[in-house]
Structure 1
Amino acid sequence: MTLTANEASEVVPFSLRDEPSLIEKAWPTAKISAETQKERKAVQGQTLTGLGSYWKGRKPLILTRACVLATLLPATDDLERDVEIFEKLMGMSDETFGRRFEGGPTAFAKLFPEHAYEVADDTGRWNWRDDLDPRERQKRIARAFMDMPYAQRLAHVKRPEELAERDLLSGIWQEVNDHLGTSARTIAELVEQLGIMRFGRRPLLADTFSGSGSIPYEAARVGCDVLASDLNPVACMLSWASFNIVGASPERHRQIEREMQDIADRVDRKISDLGIEHDEKGNRAKLYLYCIETKCPRTGWMVPLSPTWMISKKRNTIARLVPDHANKRYDIDILTGVTDAEVKASETGTLQKGRMLHPMLDDDLGISIKEIRGDFRTDSGVNGNRLRPWQQNDVSPRPEDIFQERLYAIQWMDAEDIKNGKANPRNWFASVTPDDLSRESAANDYAAQNLEKWRREGCAPDMEIETGQETARLLRERGWTHWHQLFCARQLIAGALVLQNGQKSPETRALLARYINWNSKLCHYGTGAARESTAQTFYNQALNTFPNYGVRSYGFARSFLDGVPGNAPVGGNAQIKNASAKDVVAKVDMYITDPPYADAVQYDEITEFFIAWLRKNSPAPFNEWIWDSRRNLAIKGEGQSFKVAMIDAYRAMTEHMADNGIQIVQFTHQDAKTWSDMAQIFWGAGLQVVQDWYVSTETMTELKKGGYVQGTHMIVLKKRQGALSGYTDEIVHEIRDEVERQIKDMIGLNDQMDAARGENIFNDADLQMAGYAAALRVLTAYTKIDGNDMTREALRPRKKGEKTLVDELTEFAVQTANEFLVPEGLERELWLDFNGSERFYLKMMDIEEAGEAKLDQFQNFAKAFRVGDYDEMMASNSPNGAKLKTGTKLGKTSMAEGVPFGRDSIVRLTLRAIWRVGKEDEVEDVLEELRDLIPDYVRKRDVLVQLCTYMASKRGESEPEEASAARILGTAIQTERI
């Protein structure tokens, strides 16, 4: 898209060049966090996940949109109005909810019964009123939503990207253009005009760690020109697919669908001709269930290993082992419709906690798999075992191998239903027959006979597995030495046929990557209450081997090929480079990067799973990339080498950035020392921090429990100007002044928004992070501190346990910020007297009152208040419902001397006293104990009264009995005679 001459005359190039961006001053992070969470919870419904969810670091699209718009929008003297305009453009303003509401009249009446008749009639069932035009109805629906907290609204509405832009942003453009001096009618036009006003052109945005491509894709969708680069070719492929498959024009997208349908059909015909998926009645396999099998060293029996023999709960289907004494092995019968008791019994399989147990083994302890493998450790510390390393041409185990692979059940689809085109044909599980084994043998023979030819043609993996942190287990646990051995014969045949039929199609290769992610021997088969499921290979970012696994037939799995992800066209131009982050060549206006800081995901290793399939005979543009993980060049981990590599990367970006350009670094990490490291990286790169926002980006699952990071810091940076020198004692005062100014400005804006609209745009996490931001902003402005060149200092290795000047100054800034996080109901002077543990407890009481608290909030505030161990204060560590112990739950525990939240803590003593009153101890006895335990009790009475009042207000709804006890205690202290 290019501006017409008339449109171009509406904007003045570089008129915003020196104006601060909105993201430097204000950003409604609470709303952005809520929208981000909603997008995350859409799971497979997210725009780009259809390309494959094996790259786990994908940031939500709405977060990138918020970054791009807030970077281009100016911060004027009327910040409140600036935020309103931003929210209108994001589809987050109040009036938008009338358009975003996704329910009908019945749903609305149930949700807002007091507003129902404003928009609907009840004639036995609810119908929209026909005397209201759609716009008026949307206005009234929006007014109803205004009484609901923002995060709660989102459960009942569509995501902004699910609506057409013309519908989502209907009626806003006059206000937007009047405020900005633009003439736009779409987001893309606005982005281009603001880019001209700020940079003299449509903005060019780069992401040099593009990963899955979500950042450059969304930047292009809103109208930027983008440069996406990554060292990893799989990342480049995902970025390419986001632009050229999901982001294709509607016409091209329809063409891709036709092409993939044709390729999938051709493969289907060949597999049908081979006769390896159909039985003699024409029924087609849907799923094959395999397990490993091994000889018991005690009994000599061949034992199939699986942690469970339950196959389907909803069908009451199980696998039952039947001893074959003559051959010392077990037949496996598949039984359907068994009793619940039989299902329950089948849940315990022959492999429990790493030990083999089976009916013929008279040993309740079982035999360790380590013993069966023959694990050992040499005197020199090298680990090994007796598993035979598979040879290059092995497709399946040899008879002498310790672990065999056994097909033990097949799920079939009904032939007649398939013939009649039923979307969900009837299906059932059945035992494996001799005919099934014959088809299995035919598939193995065909794969073995053709493997070498497929490799020469580039249609099958020919790479050896290089050992590494993630890949070493493949040899250790299964003996696999080459990547093709992670796939059974059926999967190799399907993959090779797909590549043969789509050799010149980059789209085919991108979708084949999705296909093989769901079709390998690492796809775990599990059962739930309502369904059977076979997981994807990278369900948790690792190469996990399983004793039992599911193999989809091609007839069932082809949807991963011809089920082309939905269409959401991009507006800007895109370039994709397979290059290191430091190899930037273009002059860029904006960078948004999500670097691999202290990243535990070994993408360089695990993506070799895909590279092995895709590296040969690549079509354009894939043939321009190096199809190797280049492990030695990948930036990962932490420590000195990582820091130097990061400085090189960000220095190159800074050198290739407009003087008024902005970088946003998405930083997801909890370790406090990393803030100091980041400061040194920015110093070395010639960047100065100007702002930091905290956005809650992650949803919690069973896989993410514990210390999993739930939020992302959006660190806003600009080029450092000049060469400033200073001394620590001066910088300390400057940091304090900057923290105070920053937080007062933010609180003031919150007060304005609360008075005008009844809402805040900053939460406590934002105010807390203002300490980090202010410290980094001050520190990174200097090139010399105490005579030390900070750029050179940034490259100096950190000694183990060393606490640097930057560490100390950063901690000081955060403590200064914490002085302003005073919960409503407490005086600031009193707040400053409390220790960190007391502040933590009182602050989390305040947060709990507003609703369920997230674990990451507890983690952030514990870090901020320097509370090393807060477990004794916690009643629940649930990720989405963390909770403090009440005074009642604390009881008389945790009253040790000399600890921050023990008998020397006035907050802890108050909680103990409330507990005693609540269990109906004599109030005078409780007061007497307080007098004994608090040396200067008389002077502390006002503090105790204020604490009782505060605790009563915070526990009024959640713990009414404790709130009542707090009020009784406060009154008693206030009225006692001394």
Structure 2
Amino acid sequence: MLDYSKSFIEEQFPVAKLSKESYRERKAGRSQTLTGLGKWWGRKPLILVRATLFGALLPVSDDKKKDKDVFLRILTMDEDGLRKRAEFQNSKKKEYVAPWGVTYETILNESCRPEEIDGPSEESWTIINEHLKTDAHNLQELAQALGKNRFGHIPQVGDCFAGGGSNVFEPARMGCDVYGSDLNPLAGLLTWADLNILGSSEAELAELKSFQEEVFDAVCAEIDALGIERNEEGHVAKYYLYCNETTCPECGYKVPLLPSLIVSKKEKLVVQFEEKADKTMAMHLVKAVDMKAVDKNATVQKNKLICPHCHQATSIVALRGGEDGKNLRKWEKTDFVPRENDLFQERLYAIKYVDVNKKGKTTDGLRKKPGPVTDATFGTSYYREPNAQDLAREQKVQSYLAEHFDEWQEKGYIPSAEIYEGAETSRLMRERGWKYWHQLFNPRQLV
């Protein structure tokens, strides 16, 4: 007797196996389904989303062991499913003997991921349908049948903080109706791309790739013509590191606000301050002797400003004028950088450049092109402190943005809407004085 008033996930969930499957998916690196469209922090593994979806849709019965067996068969995480995955993974080998009778991890290393095959075997579908009283022959039919049995309609899945799109993409792939949104426009773009690009045919993808190449070439040519990404040696910027800066109320020195002075753990590169006569702090990049001790000199600790000159601690909340931020100027719609007398300024303190003049190819085999550098680019990379030319390029970015700002907002290329007050969004006004969405991005990001 099936009980649809409860879900499988409420009674049991094979966490150990799912952890191993999720780790395997993460270790796949660039071959993961969604990462090719763009990086996103905290993106959930697709196998975890799939498991959660079916865990919520599956009813329970009096036979808990059978419930679990059916659940694992659906995810191809049972012995039969792993055999099918292993055979697919090793299909190019002339001789292959499945390593049964060993640990799950060993079998997993010989198997493809669940999403790389078309689902359970015919034998498993017979067992699944018999237990669930369904007539499904693929995962999409099963998800829809379970949804109709439980809700009376195809399952509807929504995520109001869609992020990288896993919670929207995988249910859509499983045949559900999906809805997703996010405050971050990049998240919206990635989720839209997950649904509309990855679901395209080979012919459509070929047309899209050609179009992308055309756009990429045009954008790179424009950026190179502006002269805002390459330094005087022709090396291309990969990262820009910015920080806020404010004036210490005790001694009047301008202090960069950094909760960590580490620039690169791998290179043991850190920020070191030097006091200048005009009460500013020069920021130098130096090699650290003891990385563990570096952040003891951070200028932001426990929500307090720690001045490297007078060593006095000042509450950042007090600097802002209390919880309401009375000392902060409320930014106007035309503002995209701080004004000269604002409490918090912004400062560029390090840039990572890549020498693209060295021989090398991107990982997809394409010849390197001018313009933005991706993580796939090979070449000598290095951090450096911004020099006069770098700062001049920053000014060029601001001037170019100012020239096109009204036009780009009118056409919807960059945000223009006012930030509505809410439990979290009001913090932007209280802590930074920001009133419009475009103010969450610096000029280079807006360009």
TM-score (norm 2): 0.75
Aligned 8 A contact 1:323 1:330 in 2: yes
Aligned 8 A contact 1:31 1:92 in 2: no
Q: In the alignment, residue 465 of structure 1 is paired with which amino acid? A: I
CA–CA distance in structure 2, aligned partners of residues 300 and 461 of structure 1: 36
Cα displacement string for residues 924-950 of structure 1 (whole angstroms, at most 9, x for unaligned residues)? xxxxxxxxxxxxxxxxxxxxxxxxxxx
Cα displacement string for residues 561-588 of structure 1 (whole angstroms, at most 9, x for unaligned residues)? xxxxxxxxxxxxxxxxxxxxxxxxxxxx
Q: Is structure 2 residue 117 aligned with structure 1 residue 164?
A: yes
1:62 is aligned to: 51
Shift of 1:440: 0.8
Q: In the alignment, residue 212 of structure 2 is paired with which amino acid? A: M
Q: In the alignment, residue 247 of structure 2 is paired with which amino acid? A: K
Provide the secondary structure at the position in 1 that maps to 2:383. strand
2:372 is aligned to: none
Correspondence list, 1:459-608, <5 A: 459-493=413-447
Shift of 1:37: 3.4
CA–CA distance in structure 1, aligned partners of residues 9 and 347 of structure 2: 57
Shift of 1:491: 0.5
2:256 is aligned to: 304
Q: Is structure 2 residue 360 aligned with structure 1 residue 411?
A: no
Q: In the alignment, residue 61 of structure 1 is paired with which amino acid? A: R
Q: In the alignment, residue 33 of structure 1 is paired with which amino acid? A: V
Q: In the alignment, residue 177 of structure 2 is paired with which amino acid? A: L
Correspondence list, 1:136-215, <5 A: 137-138=97-98, 141-142=99-100, 144-145=101-102, 148=103, 156=109, 158=111, 160-165=113-118, 169-170=120-121, 172=123, 175-176=126-127, 186-187=137-138, 191=142, 195=145, 204-207=153-156, 209-211=158-160, 212=162
Shift of 1:453: 0.8
Shift of 1:54: 7.1
Aligned 8 A contact 2:242 2:347 in 1: yes
Structure having the higher Rg: 1
Q: Is structure 2 residue 274 aligned with structure 1 residue 322?
A: yes
Q: Is structure 2 residue 395 aligned with structure 1 residue 441?
A: yes
CA–CA distance in structure 1, aligned partners of residues 291 and 189 of structure 2: 48
Residues 450/186 of structure 1: CA separation in 2 closer, same or farther (3 Å cut)? same
Q: In the alignment, residue 76 of structure 2 is paired with which amino acid? A: G
Q: In the alignment, residue 268 of structure 1 is paired with which amino acid? A: C
Aligned length: 417
Provide the secondary structure at the position in 2 that maps to 1:356. strand
1:388 is aligned to: 329
Q: 1:334 aligns with which of 276, 281, 285?
A: 285
Shift of 1:351: 2.7
CA–CA distance in structure 1, aligned partners of residues 383 and 142 of structure 2: 56
CA–CA distance in structure 2, aligned partners of residues 372 and 300 of structure 1: 13
CA–CA distance in structure 2, aligned partners of residues 279 and 237 of structure 1: 30
Aligned 8 A contact 2:270 2:288 in 1: no
Shift of 1:20: 4.2
Shift of 1:433: 0.8
CA–CA distance in structure 1, aligned partners of residues 3 and 432 of structure 2: 55
Cα displacement string for residues 508-565 of structure 1 (whole angstroms, at most 9, x for unaligned residues)? xxxxxxxxxxxxxxxxxxxxxxxxxxxxxxxxxxxxxxxxxxxxxxxxxxxxxxxxxx
1:33 is aligned to: 15
Residues 346/221 of structure 1: CA separation in 2 closer, same or farther (3 Å cut)? closer
CA–CA distance in structure 1, aligned partners of residues 270 and 167 of structure 2: 46
1:95 is aligned to: 80
Shift of 1:215: 6.4
Q: Is structure 2 residue 177 aligned with structure 1 residue 227?
A: yes
Correspondence list, 1:445-456, <5 A: 445-456=399-410
1:356 is aligned to: 305
Correspondence list, 1:51-130, <5 A: 53=40, 60-68=49-57, 70=58, 84=69, 87-100=72-85
1:970 is aligned to: none
Higher deviation after alignment, 59-68 or 290-299: 59-68
Cα displacement string for residues 777-818 of structure 1 (whole angstroms, at most 9, x for unaligned residues)? xxxxxxxxxxxxxxxxxxxxxxxxxxxxxxxxxxxxxxxxxx
Cα displacement string for residues 26-84 of structure 1 (whole angstroms, at most 9, x for unaligned residues)? 7896554344434554459665576775798997112324555x46xx97x99876765
What are structure 2's unaligned runs of at least 5 residues? 362-367, 369-375
Residues 360/172 of structure 1: CA separation in 2 closer, same or farther (3 Å cut)? same
Shift of 1:427: 0.8
Q: Is structure 2 residue 239 aligned with structure 1 residue 287?
A: yes
Aligned 8 A contact 1:454 1:460 in 2: yes
CA–CA distance in structure 2, aligned partners of residues 27 and 342 of structure 1: 44
Cα displacement string for residues 482-524 of structure 1 (whole angstroms, at most 9, x for unaligned residues)? 111111111000xxxxxxxxxxxxxxxxxxxxxxxxxxxxxxx
TM-score (norm 1): 0.37
Residues 408/181 of structure 1: CA separation in 2 closer, same or farther (3 Å cut)? closer
Q: 1:274 aligns with which of 226, 230, 236?
A: 226
Q: In the alignment, residue 265 of structure 1 is paired with which amino acid? A: D
Q: 2:316 aligns with which of 354, 362, 369?
A: 369
Residues 161/298 of structure 1: CA separation in 2 closer, same or farther (3 Å cut)? same
Provide the secondary structure at the position in 2 that maps to 1:332. strand
CA–CA distance in structure 1, aligned partners of residues 338 and 42 of structure 2: 31
Aligned 8 A contact 1:35 1:154 in 2: no
Aligned 8 A contact 2:246 2:256 in 1: yes
Q: Is structure 2 residue 214 aligned with structure 1 residue 262?
A: yes
Provide the secondary structure at the position in 2 that maps to 1:279. coil
What are structure 1's unaligned runs of at least 5 residues? 1-18, 106-127, 378-382, 494-978
Residues 156/455 of structure 1: CA separation in 2 closer, same or farther (3 Å cut)? same
Q: In the alignment, residue 281 of structure 1 is paired with which amino acid? A: E
Q: 2:385 aligns with which of 431, 445, 457?
A: 431
Provide the secondary structure at the position in 1 that maps to 2:239. strand
Q: Larger % of helix: which?
A: 1
Residues 465/209 of structure 1: CA separation in 2 closer, same or farther (3 Å cut)? same
Aligned 8 A contact 2:243 2:346 in 1: yes
Q: In the alignment, residue 349 of structure 2 is paired with which amino acid? A: Y
CA–CA distance in structure 1, aligned partners of residues 200 and 438 of structure 2: 32
Shift of 1:310: 2.7
Q: In the alignment, residue 477 of structure 1 is paired with which amino acid? A: E
Q: In the alignment, residue 293 of structure 1 is paired with which amino acid? A: E
| Backbone CA RMSD of aligned residues | 4.4
Shift of 1:410: 1.3
Aligned 8 A contact 2:351 2:386 in 1: yes
Provide the secondary structure at the position in 2 that maps to 1:417. coil
Aligned 8 A contact 1:318 1:343 in 2: no
Identity %: 27
CA–CA distance in structure 2, aligned partners of residues 236 and 358 of structure 1: 40
Residues 214/435 of structure 1: CA separation in 2 closer, same or farther (3 Å cut)? closer
Aligned 8 A contact 2:284 2:385 in 1: yes
CA–CA distance in structure 2, aligned partners of residues 317 and 232 of structure 1: 35
CA–CA distance in structure 2, aligned partners of residues 178 and 388 of structure 1: 64
Aligned 8 A contact 1:313 1:343 in 2: no
Provide the secondary structure at the position in 1 that maps to 2:358. helix
CA–CA distance in structure 1, aligned partners of residues 168 and 267 of structure 2: 46
Aligned 8 A contact 2:49 2:170 in 1: no
Shift of 1:436: 0.9
Cα displacement string for residues 146-189 of structure 1 (whole angstroms, at most 9, x for unaligned residues)? xx5x6x67865657524322xx6446268549958999894158
Shift of 1:276: 0.8
Provide the secondary structure at the position in 2 that maps to 1:64. helix
Q: In the alignment, residue 276 of structure 1 is paired with which amino acid? A: I
